Amino acid sequence: MTEMNMVQALNSALDLSMAADDSIILLGEDIGVDGGVFRVTEGLQKKYGPERVNDTPLVELGIVGMAIGMALTGLKPIAEIQFQDFIYTAMDQIINQAAKIRYRSAGQYTVPMVLRTPYGGGIKGGLYHSQSGETYFAHTAGLTVVSPSNPADAKGLLISSIGYGDPVIFLEPKRIYRTIKGEVKDGSYAIPLRKAAVVREGDDITAITYGSMVPTVRDAFEKNNVNGDIIDLRTLMPFDIETIVKSVEKTGRVLVVHEAPRTLGLGAEISAAIAERAMESLLGPILRVTGPDSPFPYRHEEYYLPNEKRIMKAVNKLSEYR
């Protein structure tokens, strides 16, 4: 065990995986000599050489397209998109190539590729360095969307994503890249995809969240002695409905928290899925605390991000339903 932040844990996952498997290739902007703008790939080019840790020209669709071609021909590429906000020129590659190749070739061809990208606000990044675009990916059949909430999960989930067999969009909550430290096992270990974690247990309410909002919700619950389950989705698509329903049947009250805009965000789908399966268990409405349906602001980002105050407002409202 070593105490690490998320950046170090991700670096450890990459390092251990690359040492064990020479089919793993990294590519992206500034990831080699510079170690990536957030330093996730620090030291890896020096250790594994420029053939395995590739600094690429500045073109997201080219990075993703090349990663797809590598994956189709037996490699396990891990591409870094410097900020999730910059991924949109590559959406044609992601949606029309990566996500559809297994289907359109009836399984003859597969794309075991990981796209790592930092997402979300909280670093004073304004409109174009703060977006939470998970819905765009989750809405595309064929993609698996993962987001860790702490260093240990980041390492285990990334290891599971590498060579998973289907393309994985690995969303890294950059706000907590370095602010949260935790004990991380030294060797290689996998945390299964499609499986949520119950990170705090209680009887009165179920909070469903992921990424940077997990510590925010947990802090709010701890500070205010809220007796509730907190479910960390870990895999956003396909999310773990069993764990959710089991908790909702116990508590009867549901709160979904995410940074992404509310309308058609993941919370909408989770709410509908709960309503379809556990209506009888619900004591009140399903509430959402999310980012607003606006672009992400620079100066006033603290108003955009869900915080303790808004979370507790929703918790208190739900507690009125008995």
Partner 1 sequence: MQEAEKSEEKSRLVKAYTAIVLARTLDKKIVVAQRQGRVGFYTPTMGQEALQIGASMALTEKDLIYGYYRDVPMMLHRGVPMEVIINQIMGNSEDSALGRQMPSHFSDKKRNFMSVQSPVATNLPVATGAAFTQKYRKTNSVVLATFGDGSTSTPDFHAAMNMAAVFNLPVIFLCENNGWAISLPVEKQTIAEIWTKAAAYGMRGLRVNGNDVIETHEVTLEAVKRAREGKGPTLIDAVSFRMGPHSTSDDPSKYRSETVEEGSDRDPVVVTEKTLKSRGYIDDKLIESIKSRAQKIVDDKFEECAKIPPPEPKSAFEDVYGKSTWMLDEEVKDIL
Smallest separation, CB 69 to partner 1 (Å): 2
* Shorter beta-carbon distance to partner 1: residue 204 or 269: 269
The angle, 0 to 180 degrees and rounded to 10, between the axes of the packed helices 6-20 and 151-161 is 30
* Shorter beta-carbon distance to partner 1: residue 1 or 106: 106
Smallest separation, CB 238 to partner 1 (Å): 4
Side chain identity at residue 20, one-letter code: A
What is the sign, positive or negative, of the torsion defined by CA atoms of 165, 169, 173, 177?
positive
Among 4, 24, 53, 70, contact with partner 1 (rule: CB under 8 A)? 70
In 3D space, the residue among 267, 11, 240 whose CA is nearest the CA of residue 134 turns out to be 267
> Residues in the chain, how many?
322
Cβ contacts of residue 139 below 8 Å, gap of 6+?
Answer: none
Give the 3-state secondary structure of residue 54: strand
* Residue 254 to residues 131, 171, 209, 223, Cα–Cα distance (Å): 25, 24, 11, 19
* Shorter beta-carbon distance to partner 1: residue 5 or 56: 56
Other Cβ atoms within 10 Å of 95 Cβ, number:
17
Side chain identity at residue 187, one-letter code: G
Smallest separation, CB 235 to partner 1 (Å): 10
Smallest separation, CB 91 to partner 1 (Å): 11
Segment interacting with partner 1, rule: CB under 8 A, options 8-16, 72-80, 146-154, 280-288: 72-80
Task: Note whether 89 binds partner 1 by CB under 8 A.
Answer: yes
Task: Note whether 66 binds partner 1 by CB under 8 A.
Answer: yes
Does the annotation count 258 as an active-site position? no
Q: Which residues bind partner 1 (CB under 8 A)?
A: 25, 51, 54, 56-57, 59, 61-62, 64-75, 77, 89, 92-93, 96-97, 100-110, 141-142, 144, 164-166, 194, 238, 241
Residues annotated as part of the active site:
129
